[in-house]
Amino acid sequence: MRGFIRHYLLALQFFSRVPVTGRLAEWVGFSPAMLRASAAHFPGVGWLVGAAVALLTSGLLALLPSNPFAPLVAAALGTALSVVMTGAFHEDGLADVADGLGGSLNRDRALEIMKDSRVGAFGAIAVMLALLCKVALLALLGSMGAAVMVGAVFAGHVVSRTWPLLTIRLLPHVGDAAQSKSKPLANQIAYSALLAAALWCFGALALMGCAPIAIKTVALPVAASAWWSALAGGMAAAALAWLWMLRWFAQRLQGFTGDCLGATQQVGEIAFYLGMACALGAAV
């Protein structure tokens, strides 16, 4: 348990802006091996970020006037909170990948562009569209009921942080390992770490699948079967998006960089919301 807590807190340090400082940071410690092990808790970081965004979303929907624009306001502010909590870590990766792969067909040139800290047109457009898609899809889900939106935003943050670990497992690291923040993650992740990540992921799906039905105070505006279908649809869409990203990275880069992991999380989150919305549209 002590090792579990230390690895989880180290994951918070690396993958978010949640403060783990002072004596707590000294107790946690650091080593490349620990950081590699902490990657298993990347979906666990999604539990914290997702819970915070879900709590804010739920509170806003309860306080805002009953109006069709209320879910849009809650979605925008919730998305802003997620960006603050992660320091735009994943959005930055998406921007770099879009600049690199959009700016050059040459592999080496694309990797060089991705290392540039400046944001180009492709990167700016990609981040803008990603934020727009997240806000729009969450607002759409929110129009169906507060419980739908809250469940989606929590599960989306967890599920989307699972796929990058599979990318690490299946592709070689092709970035500049000497300067890359993802250097300790460059080696393949152990199966035990993938199992821990899967427990975080499917635990969140099970919680979101059962909680609205079990807790009588939560009014689920759709049938239980439709709710489960929505979660399955979100998971399926996120899986397809990950496969597309994996194939794209394998063809264009012959591997992955740390930026690719951030881009995968962003695309996976959007795909999860889209899959849920489509599944609910088919079921309702």
Residue 20 lies in a domain: no
Tokens 């180009």 belong to: 120
* Predicted pLDDT at 217: 47
Residue 125 lies in a domain: yes
* Predicted pLDDT at 30: 72
Structure confidence by residue, pLDDT tens digits, 139-187: 999 999 888 999 999 999 999 999 999 999 999 999 765 555 555 565 6
Residues of the chain with pLDDT under 50: 216-217
- 122, amino acid identity: F
Residue 227 lies in a domain: yes
- Cβ pair 11, 38 in contact under 8 A: yes
Residue 5 lies in a domain: no
- Cβ pair 205, 231 in contact under 8 A: yes
Residue 179 lies in a domain: yes
Specify the number of domains making up the chain: 1
Residue 12 lies in a domain: no
Tokens for 162? 């699972």
Residue 34 lies in a domain: no
* Predicted pLDDT at 185: 62
Structure confidence by residue, pLDDT tens digits, 210-226: 876 655 445 677 777 88
* Domain housing 54: 43-283
Residue 67 lies in a domain: yes
Tokens 């942080």 belong to: 161
What predicted TM-score, i.e. pTM, was given to this entire model?
0.92
